[in-house]
A and B are shown apart, each in its own frame.
Chain A
Amino acid sequence: MTTTAQQFLTDATAKAADLRHRAVIQSNMASYNAAVARGKARFADWQNARSRAAQIKWETINHLDRYLEQFERNVIASGGHVCWAETSADACEYILSLARRHRVHNVVKSKSMTTEEIHLNDALEATGIHVVETDLGEYICQIRGEPPYHIVTPVMHLTKEDIARDFHEKLGVPLTDSAEELTMIARRKLRQEFLSADMGITGGNFAVADTGMIAITENEGNARLSFSLPRIHVAIVGIEKLIPRVEDLALFWPLLSTSGTGQAITSYSSLIGGPRGDGEPDGPEEFHVILLDNGRTRLLADAEQRDALHCIRCGACLNACPVYQNIGGHTYATTYQGPIGSVITPHLRDAQEWSHLPYASSLCGACTDVCPVRIDLHHHLLHNRRNAVRRRFDHPLQRLAFHAWLWTMQSPARYRLAGKLGALVCRLGFKPPRDFPAPAQESFRDWWGKVGQASCLSNPERKTGKMPVLL
């Protein structure tokens, strides 16, 4: 087992027994589920909307080369710049050199998992640049010095009281039990940061190929301030964020907000089409888009699992996942947690190091049922497991055990003997590590041999052709 896998097991074991954590998450999930149910009811046909979205994403991802180049042409035509970043380091270096060139000292950021993925804050801070997260949840994460717990709701694991304590300890403000007051404290702090920022960095929920625009979904208005106030705006998006046409947002915006938070549409929906134009009163002087690969083309090359790139990062699969609900987001130690994270992380990062994640699922399929773009999530976990075994990442003892198991299962006599041995061991007083029912006094097979078969043979329909069979 790798160190990463060992750490995961340790953290998961601790968190699964943390009843306070469980209560907070269950309460938050209950509110989320109620909101999403109301949200889905607003769609004339939710299932059809999912299918349509999956079709559009399939078309995009399977012709990604074409859509990316179209997007690039349109960004450049409207006065923006495009950087193709193959790795995290390439993306960070582009931003750092831009910052150097423009003598940037202060950066404001809106919520972006892609910047988490490339560890941008660390890179900026290492060169002495002051960087502030302006999404309230991300701001709290930054204050606490911890990564987002969830890709959509970064502090889902915290209560109002937890946040009040953090603000009191880290910002020196009085303790308060008012959510409104906590928001106002953050607002006052962040206002100053917006006004003094030289560069605004955002992610992008969608990159629109036919207009060269970045679409941003948010509820606090902080993203809008981040890209419109500072001199320079940098948007960093994974290459899978493309959608072909601006009118596709009519589907994708409500789909994302419904799956993400249950909202019909988020409070602010912005389309950014370039730097400030002639005669325009606001907007940045320069607009840069970074298209990040960072392992995504490896996933793109895998025809079987390519649809994992359909993901619009709504977080629905995390919320539906009973494993996520019990072990929490931090336990995964990945940028993208939950089922989608367990599918893509072995592709995006070291496949062996992260090969434990696809196994940390009961394969219940709740994730696949809620995915708004119909990614076959739990079947991809199976594919990842098969790939891990093919590449011999499995433990030699496990491999041996399955060889022995197969040998047993290939012979009814051995199968029967194994059953009898198991029952005998249990009767002799062996206690398995987990609770296990007592073996039956008589196996079905024995009963069938003595009584069952005879009773069925006396059935008159026995003679009438083929029979249904009991397994």
Chain B
Amino acid sequence: MVKVLRRLNVAVDYPAAQTCCGQPAFNTGYWDEARTLAKRYGEVFAGYDAIVSPSGSCTAMVRNFYPELGTPPPPTYEFAEFLVRKLGVTDVGARFPAKVTYHDSCHALRELRLKDEPRQLLRKVKGLELVEMDKAETCCGFGGTFSVKFPMISYAMDEVKCQSIAATSAEYVVSGDSSCLMQIDGYLRRQNLPAKTISLAEVLAST
């Protein structure tokens, strides 16, 4: 992500004081704990024009759920959203010669309403062939603590997802959220399926 932003002449900083947005606590019901981190986030990132995150999930936490915690959300953007909607860029000069399919992370898709933005970016990547899977919008089954509390449901959802990925015979499954990719990667490797996982940022950074 840093490489792509640099290529687009965007000045990037990484405040070393940052930790977590608080979503794991928030989603498990620990709103007081989440609120502490939401306030902290506001302090750490105060004064920047934009906070860019390679995660629809973290971005949704800040934008949609910080207000529920009574904390104003700092201007936070998901990476593809920032490139396409804020910078107005779809061609980032990337080259990635492979057949890929895109997995919509639930939070990017349904909390942030990002559907076409990552695809616009992928379509401009040289050598890249984008194929849609049947269940692109179906949850991978990660769901944070859900995958720990209900591992078999999570695994079954992962299986449904990965069968849909495999049916496209894509070499890579791309997503904006690394937690989805971690979940998907687990099933693909356990079942020795050929598709590999890669984040959208990594694809866009490739030349």
Q: Which residues of A contact B (CB under 8 A)?
A: 9, 12-13, 16-17, 22, 26, 322-323, 325-327, 359-366, 368-369, 382, 385-390, 394, 398-399, 402-403, 405-406, 408-412, 415, 433-437, 445, 448, 452-453, 455-456, 459, 461-462, 464-471
Interface-located stretch among B95-103, B123-131, B137-145, B168-176: B137-145
Residues of chain A lying within 8 A (CB to CB) of residue B15: 469
In the complex, A461→B9 CA distance in Å? 7
Partner of B156, one of A17, A405, A435: A17
In the complex, A409→B182 CA distance in Å? 21
Partner of B11, one of A387, A398, A459: A459
Partner of A466, one of B14, B47, B110, B157: B47
Main secondary structure of the interface of A (DSSP, over half): helix
A-B contact pairs, 9 of them (CB 8 A): A326-B157, A364-B106, A364-B110, A366-B138, A394-B29, A402-B24, A405-B33, A467-B13, A469-B45
In the complex, A259→B82 CA distance in Å? 35
Residue-wise, chain B 1-15 has the 8 Å CB interface mask toward A (1 for contact) of: 110011001111111
Q: Judging by beta carbons under 8 Å apart, are B5 and A470 in contact?
A: yes
List of 5 A-B pairs having minimum Cβ-Cβ separation, nearest first: A362-B143, A435-B186, A385-B29, A389-B29, A364-B139
Residues of chain B lying within 8 A (CB to CB) of residue A415: 19-20
Partner of B10, one of A9, A435, A468: A468
Q: Which residue of B lies closest to A398 (CB)?
A: B28
Q: Which residue of A lies closest to B53 (CB)?
A: A471
Q: Judging by beta carbons under 8 Å apart, are A322 and B110 in contact?
A: no
In the complex, A305→B2 CA distance in Å? 42
B50 within 8 A of A: yes
In the complex, A36→B174 CA distance in Å? 29
Q: Which of B53-111 contact A (CB under 8 A)?
A: 53-55, 58, 76, 82, 106-107, 110-111
Residues of chain A lying within 8 A (CB to CB) of residue B160: 22, 26, 322, 325-326
In the complex, A415→B41 CA distance in Å? 14
Q: Judging by beta carbons under 8 Å apart, are A467 and B110 in contact?
A: no
Partner of A12, one of B10, B138, B152, B182: B152
How far is the CB of B160 from the nearest CB of chain A, in Å? 7
Q: Which residue of B lies closest to A360 (CB)?
A: B150
Partner of A468, one of B17, B50, B54: B50
Residues of chain B lying within 8 A (CB to CB) of residue A361: 143, 146
Given A361-B143, A406-B33, A469-B15, does the pair A16, B155 have CB atoms closer than 8 Å? yes
How far is the CB of B94 from the nearest CB of chain A, in Å? 18
Given A17-B152, A436-B186, A455-B6, does the pair A467, B48 have CB atoms closer than 8 Å? yes
Q: Judging by beta carbons under 8 Å apart, are B12 and A469 in contact?
A: yes
Partner of B153, one of A16, A412, A433: A16
Given A456-B13, A466-B47, does the pair A402, B28 have CB atoms closer than 8 Å? yes
Q: Judging by beta carbons under 8 Å apart, are B111 and A461 in contact?
A: no
Q: Which residue of A lies closest to B111 (CB)?
A: A365
B120 within 8 A of A: no
In the complex, A49→B67 CA distance in Å? 28
Partner of B150, one of A9, A437, A455, A459: A9
Residues of chain B lying within 8 A (CB to CB) of residue A437: 182, 185-186
Residues of chain A lying within 8 A (CB to CB) of residue B137: 366
B206 within 8 A of A: no
Q: Judging by beta carbons under 8 Å apart, are B19 and A362 in contact?
A: no
Q: Which residue of A lies closest to B36 (CB)?
A: A406
In the complex, A405→B148 CA distance in Å? 16
Partner of A362, one of B51, B52, B154, B187: B154
Q: Judging by beta carbons under 8 Å apart, are B13 and A435 in contact?
A: no
Known contacts A362-B106, A406-B25, A459-B6, then 20 further A-B pairs from the complex at CB < 8 Å, ordered by chain A residue: A9-B150, A322-B141, A359-B146, A362-B147, A363-B146, A406-B33, A408-B19, A434-B154, A456-B11, A466-B49, A467-B10, A467-B13, A468-B11, A469-B45, A469-B52, A470-B1, A471-B18, A471-B45, A471-B51, A471-B53
In the complex, A409→B24 CA distance in Å? 11
Interface centre among A382, A389, A453, A469 (most CB of B within 10 A): A469
Interface centre among A9, A326, A436 (most CB of B within 10 A): A326
Residues of chain A lying within 8 A (CB to CB) of residue B9: 459, 461
In the complex, A459→B145 CA distance in Å? 40
In the complex, A366→B50 CA distance in Å? 29
In the complex, A445→B15 CA distance in Å? 10
B40 within 8 A of A: yes
Partner of A461, one of B10, B16, B143, B187: B10
Q: Judging by beta carbons under 8 Å apart, are A412 and B18 in contact?
A: yes
Q: Which residue of A lies closest to B41 (CB)?
A: A471
Q: Which of B150-199 contact A (CB under 8 A)?
A: 150-157, 160, 182, 185-187, 189-190
Interface centre among A394, A445, A452, A456 (most CB of B within 10 A): A456
Residues of chain B lying within 8 A (CB to CB) of residue A389: 28-31
